[in-house]
Amino acid sequence: MFQKILIANRGEIALRVLRAAKELGIQTVAVHSTADADAMHVRLADESVCIGPPPSRDSYLNIHQIVAACEITGADAVHPGYGFLSENAKFADILAAHNITFIGPSGDHIRIMGDKIEAKRTAKRLGIPVVPGSEGAVSDEKEAKRIAAEIGYPVIIKASAGGGGRGMKVALTEADLEIALATARSEAGAAFGDDAVYIEKYLQKPRHIEVQIFGDGAGKGVHLGERDCSLQRRHQKVWEEANSPALNAEERSRIGDICANAVANLGYSGAGTIEFLYENGEFYFIEMNTRLQVEHTITEAITGIDLVHEQIRVASGGGLSVTQNDIRFHGHAIECRINAEDPRTFVPSPGTITHFHTPGGLGIRVDSGVYSGYRIPPYYDSLIGKLIVHGRNRVECMMRLRRALDEFVVDGIKTTLPLFRELVGNPDIANGDYDIHWLEKHLAKGE
């Protein structure tokens, strides 16, 4: 087991990882920018190192500073959290070259899944269902037209190097294809320095359903069920549920087994998420995230398994603590992402939190790094906390969520709490009847 883990992140996820390390009796090192000197993860860690000025590229993304912080403190492993360097293959390789363990998959696996064309090709080879479309990059308009005619309109053009929803364009008919192809290509070139694009069928009313997997790096793989993250705004998840209100037990174990076998065959090591669009009973792979996700907490709620413990165990060579047969699903869990943002316009609202009071009671978990008097710096993403609610079934979970939202107080800044109070009372949400466009349509109605 590791002696000392450096946590290359900030905010609630740094705290989340720190807690898991402490429970395992491992020393912790926090790193922070000058803007985060008084952050909770710095206060609670055994040691801390300042790694640079506020902008992420000079601190949380500064590989040299982070490696230096490992050397100074004698950390033998790094947990990257999510975001920042968590899916940076070069970072994983550099740590390996310094004999520091990256708590995550190999640089090569990160690289495969970071290239969408390569990821899709690999998924298909491993028996994962994919969206019908081009085999690889499309070279010209003629080829694009031929493929689109084959799969049928509407189609979507996507950037191979894509991320954050950029470089994607929909063509409803052949008349739109030329412009969609050209704009997707130029956006991709500008945003990622790589203008390779591919084409796939555009699904019109899908849900976003993702499967949590774990590989032990030695040919074993398990799945921990799915999460439904269909409630999104601008491709950003807002509210997540486990299990999905749309799946039955047979569909759950079918897609789960496909994913578990795929990661086993890949020789994948650590936590990962295989993301799908789901429509009319079919799953379509869109991407794989090779890291812990923000919404991992709802999987923890329904399985009782600490995913960060498992990540640390696997990375240290101790293997997984569970087999597929040990994994059972209990009840229902929902996560609300509380952002420091205007609940209607989503404009960030940094500033000082004058009063912070979190709900409590059975089935309630709040993961947050903020406190009364905390000043939210304007440099980073606006997630200030996650409310995770667990109940024996979805109805109980929703009742408890409504109560917890009533108790939650964040004064001094705007937050997305009012949006969740609205959603928890909405009949479509109560019925689990929503797709990936539901939230944006709801917001557009201005209800």
Catalytic residues: 291
Nearest distance in Å: CB 197, ligand ADP? 12
d(CA 198, CA 118): 11
Q: Which is nearer to ligand ADP, 43 or 124 (CB)?
A: 124
Say which residues have a Cβ less than 8 Å from residue 144's Cβ, sequence separation at least 6: 134, 138, 157, 177, 181, 199
Say which residues have a Cβ less than 8 Å from residue 441's Cβ, sequence separation at least 6: none
Nearest distance in Å: CB 82, ligand ADP? 14
203: contact with ligand ADP by CB under 6 A: yes
Q: Which is nearer to ligand ADP, 50 or 170 (CB)?
A: 170
Q: Are strands 77-79 and 101-102 parallel, antiparallel or unpaired?
A: parallel
Q: Which of 51, 103, 131, 320 binds ligand ADP (CB under 6 A)?
A: 131
Window 270-309: contact mask with ligand ADP (x via CB under 6 A):
-----x-x--------xx----------------------
Q: Which stretch binds ligand ADP (CB under 6 A): 25-33, 67-75, 194-202, 367-375?
A: 194-202
d(CA 207, CA 284): 10
357: contact with ligand ADP by CB under 6 A: no
Q: Which of 162, 270, 385, 391 binds ligand ADP (CB under 6 A)?
A: 162
156: contact with ligand ADP by CB under 6 A: yes
235: contact with ligand ADP by CB under 6 A: yes
Which one, of 115, 104, 128, 124, lies nearest residue 260 by Cα?
Answer: 128
Q: Which stretch binds ligand ADP (CB under 6 A): 100-108, 155-163, 262-270, 330-338?
A: 155-163
Tokens of 119: 């990821």
Q: What is the CA radius of gyration of the chain?
A: 22
Q: Which stretch binds ligand ADP (CB under 6 A): 69-77, 173-181, 200-208, 355-363?
A: 200-208
Judge contact between 77 and 2, C-beta under 8 A: yes
83: contact with ligand ADP by CB under 6 A: no
Say which residues have a Cβ less than 8 Å from residue 199's Cβ, sequence separation at least 6: 133, 134, 138, 144, 147, 148, 151, 155, 156, 157, 158
Tokens of 83: 């975001």
DSSP-assigned states of every residue in 366-405: EEE---TTPEEPTTS--EEEEEEEEESSHHHHHHHHHHHH
132: contact with ligand ADP by CB under 6 A: no
Q: Which of 53, 127, 152, 165 binds ligand ADP (CB under 6 A)?
A: 165
d(CA 4, CA 385): 26
Q: Which stretch binds ligand ADP (CB under 6 A): 77-85, 203-211, 337-345, 425-433?
A: 203-211
Binding site for ligand ADP (CB under 6 A): 131, 156, 162-165, 168, 200-203, 206, 208, 235, 275, 277, 286-287, 436
